[in-house]
Amino acid sequence: MRFTVAVCAAMLCLFSRAALSQVPTPAYESDPKFVSAMQDAKRCIHERQYNFAVDGYKKANKIAGGKCAHCLQEAYDWQMKRGEYKDAAAIAVQIQALAVAPRDKSMAEAEQAIAMLRAAGEKPKPAQLEAIHAIYQTALTDFPKNLSALFSDGCVLARLGKMDDASKAFAVCADSASPNDPTRIRARHFAENPALSNSKMAPAFTVTALDGSRFTLDEMGGRVVLIDFWATWCGPCKEELPHMRKIAREFAGQPLVIISISWDSDEAKWKEFIQKNDMAWVQYRDADHDLSNRFGINAIPHYFTIDSDGVLTAEMMGSGSDVEGKLKKLIARAKAASPAPTTVAAGN
């Protein structure tokens, strides 16, 4: 359930995570001790000493008399990244106490709920899910337009087996989301089949490919998707390139879409490499690693296969992965589910 929980967490960003309400600059921000503590925390982050960074933000908040919402938010974010979910949930409660507007309080409640969900592990007990559902309901009472809470509550309701309630939550979410939000499509899919939210789902995303086309993961319905993370400077990635071209040729005209996501920082070099090596499928450059971080990867080549229902079926890393064998099975299943599918060229 790693990706499902991550998707719920990502809603805080994709559905317009609120900034804390604007308030007059507090006096403690000019306190030398506070300034020093904040600088120490930022230095620790730069040096990747994240546990000390959290301590630094907590110290700064203490100097601020426990009233620095920004300090607490930073501590929450880094504890979530470090997997310290119970501590993060406790900090979210502190942020709620400092919230000025209902929207801010609602967002902090949603953060508490997602931290609790992660702390519950792969198989949360029904009582834990009910408690998390109750917090999401409080968040929605405080701010009914909190779509991150609505979407995540739908996921929780589905895990509780309350499929009708989950479907309603996803439907409202889909109707309320921006037309340009990639998560809107996923919410619509989940409204039709809430059980899908219990599956491993890759993060929803929309990107503009090299050829100017828009690629939206959840619009690939009925087709299998192969995601390939790579870079021009990656030796093993270059070794895999002939295999990727073979896959593109072999499955041309089949219900398969390939998207290669590059870590290259040099756009010109990336474009030249693609043209020179005849990489005639969807190409996207993830120079800031934003999309890669959402997938939770830190090494390449890295592959993900996604079935025709949008469910993440496999994650493979390194050269020599049996990508082709997995694709054959998924494509056969896609054809069986839809006897007369609209065929597309691989990568189109």
**pLDDT attached to residue 227:** 95
Domain assignment present for 123: yes
Q: How far apart are CA 79 and CA 103, in angstroms?
A: 23
Examine the domain organization and report whether 269 and 177 are in the same domain.
no
**pLDDT attached to residue 1:** 47
Examine the domain organization and report whether 9 and 109 are in the same domain.
yes
Among 172, 198, 224, the domain boundary falls at 198
Mean pLDDT of all residues in 25-40: 91
Mean pLDDT of all residues in 278-302: 92
Cis peptide before 301 (omega within 30 of 0): yes
**pLDDT attached to residue 15:** 52
Q: How far apart are CA 72 and CA 64, in angstroms?
A: 11
Residue 168, domain extent: 2-198
* pLDDT tens digits along 49-83: 988 999 999 999 999 999 999 999 999 999 998 99
**pLDDT attached to residue 347:** 47
Q: How far apart are CA 314 and CA 71, in angstroms?
A: 38
Examine the domain organization and report whether 189 and 257 are in the same domain.
no
Domain assignment present for 130: yes
**pLDDT attached to residue 324:** 84
Domain assignment present for 342: no
- Checking if the pLDDT of 236 tops 80, the result is yes
Domain count, the chain: 2
Examine the domain organization and report whether 194 and 254 are in the same domain.
no
* pLDDT tens digits along 90-147: 999 999 999 999 999 999 999 999 999 999 998 999 999 999 999 999 999 999 999 9
**pLDDT attached to residue 171:** 96
**Per-residue confidence band for 342, with pLDDT thresholds at 50, 70 and 90:** very low
Examine the domain organization and report whether 167 and 238 are in the same domain.
no
**Per-residue confidence band for 325, with pLDDT thresholds at 50, 70 and 90:** confident
* pLDDT tens digits along 253-281: 999 999 999 999 999 999 999 999 999 99
Q: How far apart are CA 134 and CA 147, in angstroms?
A: 16
Among 198, 220, 252, the domain boundary falls at 198
* pLDDT tens digits along 132-153: 999 999 999 999 999 999 999 9
Q: How far apart are CA 26 and CA 64, in angstroms?
A: 9
Q: What is the mean pLDDT of the chain?
A: 88
Among 169, 198, 227, the domain boundary falls at 198
- Checking if the pLDDT of 340 tops 80, the result is no
Domain assignment present for 343: no
Mean pLDDT of all residues in 224-232: 95
Examine the domain organization and report whether 218 and 152 are in the same domain.
no
**Contacts of 224 by beta carbon, 8 Å cutoff, 6+ apart:** 255, 256, 257, 305, 306, 307, 308, 327, 330, 331, 334
Q: Indicate the pTM of the whole model.
A: 0.74
Domain assignment present for 347: no
Say which CATH number the domain at 85 has. 1.25.40.10
**pLDDT attached to residue 11:** 52
Domain assignment present for 132: yes
Cβ(110)–Cβ(152) below 8 Å: yes
**pLDDT attached to residue 167:** 97
Say which CATH number the domain at 308 has. 3.40.30.10
Examine the domain organization and report whether 180 and 236 are in the same domain.
no
Q: How far apart are CA 274 and CA 276, in angstroms?
A: 6
**pLDDT attached to residue 160:** 97
Q: Supply 127's token pair.
A: 């009582």
Domain assignment present for 317: yes
Choose between 329 and 15: higher pLDDT: 329
**pLDDT attached to residue 286:** 95
**pLDDT attached to residue 7:** 55
Examine the domain organization and report whether 157 and 288 are in the same domain.
no
Domain assignment present for 177: yes
Examine the domain organization and report whether 37 and 176 are in the same domain.
yes
Residue among 151, 149, 154, 160 nearest 125 (CA): 160
* pLDDT tens digits along 158-204: 999 999 999 999 999 999 998 878 788 889 989 999 998 998 888 88
**pLDDT attached to residue 339:** 52
Examine the domain organization and report whether 140 and 181 are in the same domain.
yes
Examine the domain organization and report whether 184 and 270 are in the same domain.
no
Choose between 19 and 241: higher pLDDT: 241
Examine the domain organization and report whether 140 and 253 are in the same domain.
no
**pLDDT attached to residue 69:** 94
**Other CB atoms within 10 A of residue 99 CB:** 19
**pLDDT attached to residue 257:** 94
